[in-house]
Chain A
Amino acid sequence: MDKIIKVIKKYKIFLILLVINTVILIVKPSIGLKSFQLTKDNALEMLSILPPVFILLGLLDVWIKRETMIKFMGEKSGIIGVLLAFLLGSAAAGPLYAAFPVAAVLLKKGSKFSNVLIMIGAWSTTKIPLLLFEASSMGIKFMITRFILNIFGIAIIAYTVERFLSKEEIDKIYKNAALME
């Protein structure tokens, strides 16, 4: 019984939203139905992407030594770390929210904070499969212009976010990532 209550507590907001959606379904069936349909489609898509992402993360966590990560993406990794972070983000698949668990593992293993932010930036907007898609539906000029602008944007955002945070705040983020299992 305690266990059930714990699960309900954990999924509280989700359950409340389901009730709201059900109310919409009763008051305005067309919108409620469409929303349930969209949620179902998105859930199926998400559930298909997440398992391999998390399996790879689990393997990364167990196999990659902290020292290796520090060497390639840590404080002293320089341009190699930046490029690796950019490539890692760009080669990724899945929506931005799937990048956060990856960021946690990178932090846990001692990657530099700005490199993690670069990975997040690249993940959000310069994904390689999406670039091809963007070029085909928006035109090559649109895609290339946006890509070049994004390289600057990702760097600016990564370094300024790091700047805005105090050393203690960054330490706290590292500690928090270490606790995330």
Chain B
Amino acid sequence: MTTIGLYLIAGAALVVSFIKNKDKTMLSLKKAWKSLENILPQFLTILVIIGIALAILTPEQISSLVGRESGWIGVLVAAFIGSVTLVPGFIAFPLASALLKNGAGYMQIAAFISTLMMVGIVTIPLEIKYFGKKAALIRNMEAFIFSLAVAYIMGVII
């Protein structure tokens, strides 16, 4: 759905740009290709890492680790799993609600979702390429700690 929207927007922008200035449009396409090609190796590497990790970890295993009674250890485990995995949101939310039904706790699931979205250990090499080591490490560490705080507050409120 969002993908189709993106293509429509990109297509429309490209047509407008082409009508206005052909050379500039060609230059922008050239730039687009160059920047895509520049990071493609990292992208592909990340994809294979995710594939291997998710093939080894099953939802049942995750659920047994982060049950309602697992407490802060479960929260930490969930936060860690969220940090190292990279699943798109539209897969993560149904997975999270399935985990909840299978006995996972709200705190643990909140930690998992939050780190899943904000912390990216497998994508750190890519982040470093753009932001340098220090900024990338600080951002990810802070996001991890923030996710634990989110988990705690969600556990209290919900």
Contact = CB atoms under 8 A, between A and B. Distances in A.
Interface string A43-66: 101101111111111110111000
Interface stretch (A28-36, A68-76, A78-86): A28-36
B122 to A, nearest CB: 9
A95 B46 CA distance: 12
A17 B49 contact: yes
Give the dominant DSSP class at B's interface.
helix
A45 B43 CA distance: 12
B43 A46 contact: yes
A18 B48 contact: yes
B97 A138 contact: yes
A164 B28 contact: no
A39 B13 CA distance: 31
Interface string B1-31: 1110111011101100100000011011111
Give the dominant DSSP class at A's interface.
helix
Interface in B109-158: 110, 113-114, 117-118, 120, 123, 126-127, 129-132, 134-135, 138-139, 142-143, 146, 149-150, 153-154, 157-158
Interface residues of A, number: 78
A2 interface: no
A133 B97 CA distance: 11
B139 A95 contact: no
Given A56-B10, A58-B35, A141 B51 contact: no
Nearest to A120: B139
Given A14-B41, A14-B44, A46-B43, A54 B35 contact: yes
Interface string A166-177: 000100110011
Contacts of B114: 125, 146
5 contacts: A21-B51, A37-B51, A39-B47, A56-B6, A61-B31
Interface of A: 10-11, 13-14, 17-18, 20-21, 24, 31-32, 34-39, 42-43, 45-46, 48-59, 61-63, 93-97, 100-101, 103-104, 117, 120-121, 124-125, 127, 129-130, 133-134, 136-138, 141-142, 145-146, 149-150, 153, 156-157, 160-161, 164-165, 169, 172-173, 176-177, 180-181
